Amino acid sequence: ILNVEQSPQSLHVQEGDSTNFTCSFPSSNFYALHWYRWETAKSPEALFVMTLNGDEKKKGRISATLNTKEGYSYLYIKGSQPEDSATYLCAFEGSGYALNFGKGTSLLVTP
Amino acid sequence: ETGVTQTPRHLVMGMTNKKSLKCEQHLGHNAMYWYKQSAKKPLELMFVYNFKEQTENNSVPSRFSPECPNSSHLFLHLHTLQPEDSALYLCASSQDPLAGAGVFGPGTRLTVL
């Protein structure tokens, strides 16, 4: 099992605030880095799959960057809305089929 | 509508019971997965099936027995479980196993008494 760390563990912001959180992962044997959003009582939803160093992906107000050499990825949410409240999971994919998940960052956005 | 369905959504069982979890997808995916999420722990991969063949068993105890009769259905047979096996069990599928687990089901919340 590879060490995938996410920080902070939880975050509480006001509507309209921009926020970001971090996923750190092993920098060797890198294949892909996945981000998921997991809302309470729903299935995890895939946000991004990132494979190249320097990759930047964007989906609406959410974007992510990737640094495979130093082993980290940032997820940014611009102008947070209450519907962004969820747990954001990152998962490291190395060789083989296993995705190694972090524990997630739990985001609460209040009006 | 996630495209991956799981039944039952909640299950309470005793340690001597035998039960099965079911997962179904009609997305045309070839790979299916079982994940376990215990409280305050990361998601853990349990099993991977590719074209109905098991390609990975992540050191899972034999009291968990997967079955993949076809590429649309995946089962997890449970017997003589322990209370520490209480967790959320998630099924997922993807086009191929190298793509990672693309679509997740809603999970089965299992409680072992």
- What tens digit of pLDDT does each residue of A76-96 get? 999 999 999 999 999 988 876
Q: What is the pLDDT of residues A38-61, one digit of tens each?
A: 888 788 888 998 999 999 999 999
Q: Are B106 and B21 in contact (CB under 8 A)?
A: no
Give the closest-approach CA distance of B36 to chain A in angstroms: 11
Q: Count of CB contacts below 8 A, A vs B?
A: 57
- Which range, A50-54, A97-101, A106-110, has the best average confidence (pLDDT)? A106-110
Give the closest-approach CA distance of A64 to chain B in angstroms: 18
- A23, A90, A99, best to mutate vs chain B, most B CBs in 10 Å: A99
Task: Give the pLDDT of residue B1.
Answer: 47
Strands (E), A1-111: 5-7, 10-14, 19-24, 32-38, 45-50, 56-59, 62-67, 72-77, 86-93, 99-101, 105-110
Strands (E), chain B: 4-7, 10-13, 18-25, 31-37, 44-50, 53-57, 64-70, 73-79, 87-94, 103-104, 108-112
Contact of A97 with chain B, judged by CB distance below 8 Å, is answered with yes
Contact of A42 with chain B, judged by CB distance below 8 Å, is answered with yes
Residue recorded with tokens 């299916």: B32
Residue recorded with tokens 């099936």: B49
Structure tokens at A58: 């964007």
The model's confidence at residue B97, banded by pLDDT at 50, 70 and 90, is low
Give me the mean pLDDT over the B55-74 stretch.
Answer: 89
Q: Which residues contact A97 (CB under 8 A, 6 or more apart)?
A: B31, B45, B48, B50, B55, B56, B97, B98
Task: Give the pLDDT of residue A44.
Answer: 85
User: Residue B42 and residue A101: Cβ atoms within 8 Å?
Assistant: yes
Using alpha carbons only, what angle is made at residue B47 by residues A69 and B104, rounded to the nearest 5 degrees? 75
